[in-house]
Amino acid sequence: MVALLAPPVPQHRDGAGELRIVGDDGAALAARVNPPARFSTRTTIGALLADPQARAVVEKHLPRITKDPRVDQALGMTLREAAPYEPTILTEELLGTLDRELAGALAQGEQAVGDRLEKAFERTLILRALAHTGGHRMEAAQRLGWGRNTLTRKIQELGLEAELRKR
């Protein structure tokens, strides 16, 4: 309760990203502030490949990842979880480089990340369910735990109608 009633601590962020907390005596304590990484090697491969910025970083270091027929099996895994299966490719050095570059993508200040990722996830989920059921929407909706109308509405909201007609 005391902390809630305490006056706010004056703060200043300098141009180098340092957060300075200024005390009553005027002394400043500096602490480097590292924003939480939006993507890292602990993010699922599916989420990394669904985001254009993250995908570009991953493909820069793993150019054949999207062409590998096993990638569909690994979409729910993180790169760190996949590392034991490809130890000569997914080295600790490479994973560290990917973490740094993926964290840098966050610094570009994208807004509404959750909404975009949710739509990308739903899109992938719907397309996979329909592929699995041979395009039968009722069965796909049941497998997703949705009603047929919900699936139809999401297909329309995500603009998937034209893509589904091509298949």
- pLDDT, mean of residues 51-69: 84
Beta-strand ranges (E) seen in 7-148 are 11-13, 18-22, 28-32
* Tokens matching residue 41: 């090697």
Half-sphere exposure of 138 (CA within 13 A, CB side): 0
Angle, CA of 117, 118 and 119, to the nearest 5°: 90
Residue-wise pLDDT tens digits, 134-153: 999 999 999 888 899 999 99
More confident residue, 71 or 135: 135
Q: What is the mean pLDDT of residues 92-104?
A: 84
Q: Does the pLDDT at position 53 exceed 70?
A: yes
Token pair 């994973």: residue: 95
Whether the predicted model's global pTM rises above the 0.75 cut: no
Token pair belonging to 17: 């990203």
pLDDT at site 118: 74
Q: What pLDDT is recorded for position 20? A: 43
Q: Taking all residues of the chain, what is their mean pLDDT, rounded to a whole number?
A: 74
Q: Kindly tell me the burial class for residue 119, based on how many C-beta atoms sit within 10 Å of its own C-beta (0-12, 13-18, 19 or more).
A: middle
Q: Which long-range contacts (CB under 8 A, 24 or more apart) does 135-142 make?
A: 135/164, 135/167
